[in-house]
Structure formats: structure tokens, C-alpha cells
Amino acid sequence: MYIYLPIAEVSMHIGIIIGLGGGVGFLSGLFGVGGGFLMTPLLIFFGIPPAVAVSTEANQIVASSVSGVLAHMRRGNVDFKMGGILMVGGVIGSSLGVALFSFLRSIGQIDLVIQLSYVVFLGIIGSLMLTESVRTMIRTSRPGAARGKLHQHNWLHGLPLKMRFRRSTLYISAIMPLLLGAFVGVLAAIMGVGGGFIMVPAMIYLLGMPTSVVVGTSLFQIIFVTANVTLLQSIQTQTVDFLLAGLLLFGAVIGAQFGSRAGALLRGEQLRGLLALVVLAVCLKIGYDLVVRPEDLLSVELLR
Amino acid sequence: MTRQLRPLPTLFAGCWLALVLAMAATNVQAAPSRLVADLSQTRVDITSGYHGTELLLFGAYEGVPGDELVLIVEGPATDIVQRRKEKKAGIWVNVETFIWQQAPSFYHMFSTAAFDRIADADVRRSAEIGPASGGLMLVAGANVNRGYEGGGDERTRAAEPTRGTSEQEAGLRRNMTANGLWQSKPSSIITQQNMLFRTMLSLPSNVPTGDYVVRILHFRNGVALSERTTDMNIRKAGMSALIYRFAHDYPVFYGLFAIAFAVASGWLAAVAFRRG
């Protein structure tokens, strides 16, 4: 059964939409990630206009983040103070990102910037994760290996506006999380992702937060960043397809349940290694599309 | 005559019979209407279940052996942005943008024979056969603000409109054919006894909405004898129209509603699966 998506203005098989939601939901449940970095390229691949894919995915991530953050809140794994500062940065950053998105689209370069962002950031994060997980796998197979320091003090700790984050047991400058939030916010708005895949490692390695609170705190701030993108894109470009988001969500909710059950069967570093391979595969596919000669060098877009 | 028709769905046969009778009636009145055309549907609703559709275009004409027909279905005119890619630093990048002004958003043409056999290029141009027959204008090096939902307002023009070269028009035709919006289907009209004709119009799932014009032309010895037009309207309807209008007329509320819906369903999912 095909369904006509009123904002995307294309019709898609309802099984494909729910299947996409389910598949990406499964992976996001398995790895504990939002899955926007998979869903947005897949939607574009299936013929949804990039602008609609990015805005609609932001809307869907609002739901999956709310769903995820509730579980972390019950376990007390959300640092609201840190989340609040990241959120302020994120709202500013994503507003800039939406403006930048409109500008890039007007000069016909939005597809290129989306693709390049994916290649660069997925490439970096994927390679880091893969090396880290392989190292851990080797280390755990050799008993008695020395553990490294939890986090080190560096120049970042010399910045002004120091604040105490009790839940994260940190005393650091608020400038750092503010800038981090803003940076990830810009990327979230342009790439149609929540940005957790950048936020989580940055929180651990850059801010030095304990791993127990990073996922919950990241999800908490992603809700506000993606809600901001949803609202701004609705107002400025009318590219949020509510019907598409709802159907994707339906699949994703179910897929995530199976994913999290499957995830319990694997060890942390195995999961991270697998996720790294998925991330790198997406990166390579998009990179390949940029390099290979397009079928037709000309392309059209109808204005109304 | 109608008894000699090959087996056809009763609907088609019924339509044809009605037309033949109508023509016979008009002939009696000595005001010869030599061309009648109609569609199986003059209004197409794009509802949530829409995935392209097929329409029957049919009619009657007073022909002699050797007569040819051309049928054109044309959608509303719109500005079309075209971009050209070039390889820069190893990757393919859009390097040039131009806007075709008021080009047909949809143009399907049908005929009883190859178009160049029906009439020569000059006749075809004066009869406005072909999407670029009127001479399309384009603005080169243009900057398009809000490319997707442009609305025709915020465009800064880098140059005055110029006439597209045949090479540029071929590029536009290639792109528009690839996305299914422009089609040329020679020898796709089926005729009976030089009296009846029919063909199928396939509307793709990405069909533009708006007012359409269906034109039928009757050619004899390379000259257009007569022409008839009829209207068709394609519009969003039902839930898809509702969502579209909500998004465009009340964007702030639409955005807030989309967020509220997402928050509520995320919360519901968390609650449902915690108990389960």
C-alpha cells in the first residue's frame, strides 16, 4: 500500500517507511544511539527531498529522545545542569544551523554540505570508535594490562566562568559545554541528526563527564535541539512532514525494543565495534556518491 | 459501426457509443464539430492513497485515412531551477544555476504517428506542439532563495532573461523526461475507423498540482485542421490536503503540534514498553 506524503510530495510504500523506522529503530536500540545519521541518508536515498528528510528526521528524534530520556531519568542518569547549558548552546547553534541550511539551499549547495558533513564527521567518529573498541578487545583478552587515567586536566580547565556540576562530579568552565552544544546544534540542524554520536564522545573525552550520565544528558539536550529545528523549519520552509515522521516513529518504537534486547547479548566493546562499522559504511557510501560521476550532470527542481 | 469494435471494457464502449451518437446528432444540425475530446476524469484528487493514476483520454473526429492526431496534456507553468555539476577537487559540485521561467511543470504529448511525420517543424511550432515550442526563457547565473518552496518572490537576478539555446533546452527536456514530468509518446493514440480515438495518460506520483489543459489537434496532409481544448484539475484532497494546508497556513502551530505529537508518542512508547 502506497501512501502519499503531503509535504515531501512523493508517494512511498508504507511498508518501506515502517520498515525503515523499524530497522533504524532496531540499530538505535542495539547501540543506544538516536539513529538520525542512518535515517536521514536513507530517506534521501528513497527519494525524499533532502530538506524534508532533515526537518522530518528532527521531528522524529524529538520522540525517540523523549522515550529514551525517561528511562535514564528513572535511574538518575541525567545531569540537568550540564544538560541545561548544553541545551542553551544547542538552541543557539541549531538556530544558526537552520539559517545556514536555508542559505546553502538558496545557492544550490545544501546537498554537497550535507554529504561532506556526513563523510567528515562519520569518518572521524567511526574510525575513533573502531580503534577504541579493537584496543579494548585486545586489552581485555590480555589480563593484567594497565588502565589509563580517567580524565586529564588540560588547558580547557583554565577557562573562566567555572561552575560545579554535582551529578557529573565536575568543576569546569561553562564556556566549554556552551560551545560544544552550539557546535553540535549547527551540525544537528544541517545533517538531520540529534548529534549524540558527536556529543557523547565529546562529553567523555572533552568535558571529562562520567560515562554513566553522558547518554541520558545527551538525550535530554537533544530533545530541545531537535524540537527547535522542527519549529524553525516548520516556520521558515514548511518541510516537516508530520505524516512521514509519525510512520517512521511507529516502526522505530517497535524496532528499538527488539534492538535493546539483542544489545543485552553483546559486550560493550563488541557493540561499539559493530556500530563503528555501520558508521564507516554510511560514510563510505556517501563519500563514494560524491566521487563517482553522476548519471546526469544536470538536475532540476520545480519552484512553486 | 460500433458493433464492429473489438471487445473493450463496457465503460470505454459506452463512452464511444455516446460520442458517436453525439457526433451524429451534431452532424444533423449542419454545424460540423469535427473534434470532440473528453477524459475519464476531469478532476484528480491526490489523497493519502495516491500513487500515480491512469486516465483515459478519448474522443471522436471526422477523419479520412491518413489523418493524424496529436494530444497534449499540459500542467501549470512554473519556474524550474536547473543546476550543472562539475568535478572540483575530486568531487562533483554544482557550479552553475539557471532558472527556466514559466516552463510547463507537466507536459505529456501523444500522437498517432511520429511527430515529424505529422507536420514539419514550423507547423508544429506554430501549433505549439512541444514543451519548448513557445521559446523558453532562462536566467543564467541566478541565485534562488528558498529553492524548495520559493513562491516566486525572493529571487535575486544576476542577469536579464535570455532565450534558451537548443542545447540548454535539450538538457531541460532530458531532466524533465527522467523525472517523468515531460513525456513524448508518438504512435500512442489508438484510432478506430478514422472516427474514434483513445489513449492512456499516466500521471506519476510526483505530479504537480493545479489547472491542466488537454489539447487535441487534428492534422491532414501536414496541416492542422482543428483543435479542441478541455480542462482538468489536479489537487490535493482529504488528509494530505489538510496536512499541507495546516503546514502552510499556520506554520507556527504546525511546528508546535508536530513537537507535541512527538513528545506525547515518545512518552507513550516509554510507558507502554516499561509495563510490557
Residue A202 — φ and ψ, nearest 5°?
-65, -40
Residue A292, pLDDT > 50, answer yes
Q: What is the DSSP string of B209-264?
A: PEEEEEEEEEEETTEEEEEEEEEEEEEE-HHHHHHHHHHHH-HHHHHHHHHHHHHH
Parallel/antiparallel/unpaired status of strands B162-163 and B91-104: unpaired
Is residue A300, in this structure, part of any structural domain at all?
A: no
Count of Cβ atoms closer than 10 Å to residue A175 Cβ: 16
Say whether B254 and A227 touch across the interface (CB within 8 A).
Answer: no
Contacts of A192 (CB under 8 A, 6+ apart): A36, A39, A40, A53, A54, A55, A56, A57, A58, A114
Count of Cβ atoms closer than 10 Å to residue B45 Cβ: 16
pLDDT band at A270 (very low <50, low <70, confident <90, very high): confident
What is the distance in angstroms between the Cα of B86 and the nearest Cα belonging to chain A? 7
B82-105 burial string, b = 16+ CB within 10 Å, else e? Answer: bbbbeeeeebbbbeebbbbbebbb
- A17: cell is 517507511
According to the model, what pLDDT value does residue B30 have? Answer: 34
Considering only the beta carbons, identify the residue of B91, B247, B269 that sits closest to A67: B269
Say whether B94 and A108 touch across the interface (CB within 8 A).
Answer: yes
Q: How many domains does chain A have?
A: 1
Say whether A4 and B146 touch across the interface (CB within 8 A).
Answer: no
Considering only the beta carbons, identify the residue of A62, A65, A293 that sits closest to B92: A293
Is residue A28, in this structure, part of any structural domain at all?
A: yes
Is residue A131, in this structure, part of any structural domain at all?
A: yes
Q: Are A122 and A279 in contact (CB under 8 A)?
A: yes
Say whether B85 and A230 touch across the interface (CB within 8 A).
Answer: no
Q: What is the mean pLDDT of residues A208-225?
A: 91
Q: What is the mean pLDDT of residues A79-108?
A: 94
User: What whole-number distance in Å separates Cα of residue B260 and Cα of residue B135?
Assistant: 50
Chain A residues with CB under 8 Å of B140 CB are none
Residue-wise pLDDT tens digits, B128-140: 999 988 788 888 7
Find the Cα–Cα–Cα–Cα dihedral B238, B240, B246, B252, rounded to 10°. 160
Contacts of A205 (CB under 8 A, 6+ apart): A151
Chain B residues with CB under 8 Å of A232 CB are 255
What is the distance in angstroms between the Cα of A220 and the nearest Cα belonging to chain B? 12
Q: Are B209 and B47 in contact (CB under 8 A)?
A: no
Is residue A67, in this structure, part of any structural domain at all?
A: yes
- B206: cell is 510526483
User: What whole-number distance in Å separates Cα of residue B208 and Cα of residue A214?
Assistant: 47
| Interface residue of B105, B156, B211, B259 to substitute, partner A, most A CBs within 10 Å | B259
User: What whole-number distance in Å separates Cα of residue A85 and Cα of residue A172?
Assistant: 12
Residue A24, pLDDT > 90, answer yes
The model's pTM is: 0.84
Place of cell 524550474: B80
Question: Could you tell me which of B82, B77, B55 has the C-alpha nearest to residue B178?
Answer: B82
| Interface residue of A102, A118, A254, A298 to substitute, partner B, most B CBs within 10 Å | A298
H or E element in which residue A8 lies? none
Pairs across A and B, CB distance < 8 A: 217
As beta bridge partners, residue B141 has: none
According to the model, what pLDDT value does residue B158 have? Answer: 52
User: What whole-number distance in Å separates Cα of residue A274 and Cα of residue B31?
Assistant: 79
According to the model, what pLDDT value does residue B142 have? Answer: 53
Say whether A235 and B206 touch across the interface (CB within 8 A).
Answer: no
What is the distance in angstroms between the Cα of B216 and the nearest Cα belonging to chain A? 26
Edge-to-edge strand order for the sheet containing A298-302?
A: A298-302, B77-88, B91-104, B137-140, B162-163
As beta bridge partners, residue B217 has: B70, B227
What is the distance in angstroms between the Cα of B158 and the nearest Cα belonging to chain A? 13
Could you list the residue range(s) of the whole structural domain that residue A255 is in? 2-140+155-291
What is the distance in angstroms between the Cα of A15 and the nearest Cα belonging to chain B? 13
Say whether A102 and B254 touch across the interface (CB within 8 A).
Answer: no
Q: What is the mean pLDDT of residues A107-118?
A: 91
Is residue A303, in this structure, part of any structural domain at all?
A: no
Chain A residues with CB under 8 Å of B49 CB are 1-4
Residue A9, pLDDT > 50, answer yes
Burial class (CB in 10 A: 0-12, 13-18, 19+), B153: exposed
User: What whole-number distance in Å separates Cα of residue B242 and Cα of residue B237?
Assistant: 7
User: What whole-number distance in Å separates Cα of residue A119 and Cα of residue A104?
Assistant: 18
User: What whole-number distance in Å separates Cα of residue A241 and Cα of residue A57?
Assistant: 9
Considering only the beta carbons, identify the residue of A4, A63, A243 that sits closest to B265: A63
Question: Rounded to the nearest 5 degrees, what angle is found at the Cα of A141, between the Cα atoms of A139 and A146?
Answer: 35
User: What whole-number distance in Å separates Cα of residue A204 and Cα of residue A270?
Assistant: 19
Residue B6, pLDDT > 50, answer no
- B11: cell is 465503460
What is the distance in angstroms between the Cα of B159 and the nearest Cα belonging to chain A? 16
What is the distance in angstroms between the Cα of B201 and the nearest Cα belonging to chain A? 18
Say whether A6 and B254 touch across the interface (CB within 8 A).
Answer: no
Question: Could you tell me which of B199, B224, B219, B44 has the C-alpha nearest to residue B108?
Answer: B199
Say whether A253 and B80 touch across the interface (CB within 8 A).
Answer: no
Parallel/antiparallel/unpaired status of strands B107-111 and B182-185: parallel
More confidently predicted of A256 and A22: A22
According to the model, what pLDDT value does residue B12 have? Answer: 54
Say whether B78 and A303 touch across the interface (CB within 8 A).
Answer: yes
Considering only the beta carbons, identify the residue of A4, A234, A292 that sits closest to B47: A4
Say whether A67 and B266 touch across the interface (CB within 8 A).
Answer: yes
Is residue A146, in this structure, part of any structural domain at all?
A: no
A122-142 burial string, b = 16+ CB within 10 Å, else e? Answer: bbebbeebbebbeebeeeeee
Is residue A184, in this structure, part of any structural domain at all?
A: yes
What is the distance in angstroms between the Cα of A176 and the nearest Cα belonging to chain B? 28
Amino acid at B158: A
According to the model, what pLDDT value does residue A155 have? Answer: 64
Say whether A242 and B78 touch across the interface (CB within 8 A).
Answer: no
According to the model, what pLDDT value does residue A151 have? Answer: 52
Q: Are B56 and B245 in contact (CB under 8 A)?
A: no
Residue of A nearest to B52 (CA): A11
Residue A148 — φ and ψ, nearest 5°?
-80, 175
Say whether A293 and B87 touch across the interface (CB within 8 A).
Answer: yes
Is residue A204, in this structure, part of any structural domain at all?
A: yes
What's the ipTM? 0.90
Residue-wise pLDDT tens digits, B162-220: 888 888 899 999 999 999 999 999 999 999 999 999 999 999 988 999 999 999 999 99
Say whether B174 and A298 touch across the interface (CB within 8 A).
Answer: yes
Residue of B nearest to A99 (CA): B146
More confidently predicted of B6 and A246: A246
| Interface residue of B156, B182, B265, B274 to substitute, partner A, most A CBs within 10 Å | B265
* CA distances (Å), origin A71, targets A65, A299, B84, B196: 10, 46, 49, 69
User: What whole-number distance in Å separates Cα of residue A227 and Cα of residue B217?
Assistant: 54
What is the distance in angstroms between the Cα of A4 and the nearest Cα belonging to chain B? 5
According to the model, what pLDDT value does residue B138 have? Answer: 86
